[in-house]
Structure 1
């Protein structure tokens, strides 16, 4: 159920309410989570008696810096790959055998 979103994408969420709900004011809080991601928004809501009311901006909390996490993970992966490369190269150099001129040593 729901919509899959990529990085930096947003999608509106609709919360159906009963028509019998009094006008308020109400303190509303919604928490949406998916995997490790969790977003929370809260606002005071008053339903107008008739017509449309002005939108109320939500107070966001639960923001997580995904760009920083992704960048840090990429940096860690790069460091690990570089360490593996250097280690393999050192092992290859250590195993490399330098040929000795046996004929010169035997003739002496």
Structure 2
């Protein structure tokens, strides 16, 4: 059924983190409803809005990393493509930044 996708450890961890975040955000929203606030984003957002924007940013960072991996090997004269764990960490930092300051 899921044979079309390459389920590597980083991919599984990435999706597991998304599931954990969605469950935690749902529980947080039930316990304490969100209010609109203005951060560095150009619109007033709730926690859920910032989570969605942060997840979209994380997805684009990971897609760009995978797409540019072969090119980065040539640009930086690397022996092999850079680890996907780097993009995972970078995308989680961007997500955290959007959630806290967005």
The structure with the greater share of residues assigned to strand is 1
Both proteins in one fold, TM over 0.5: no
Structure with higher RCO (Cα < 8 A, 6+ apart): 2
The structure with the greater share of residues assigned to helix is 2
Q: Structure 2 length as normaliser, TM-score?
A: 0.31
Q: Structure 1 length as normaliser, TM-score?
A: 0.30
Mark the structure with the bigger radius of gyration.
1
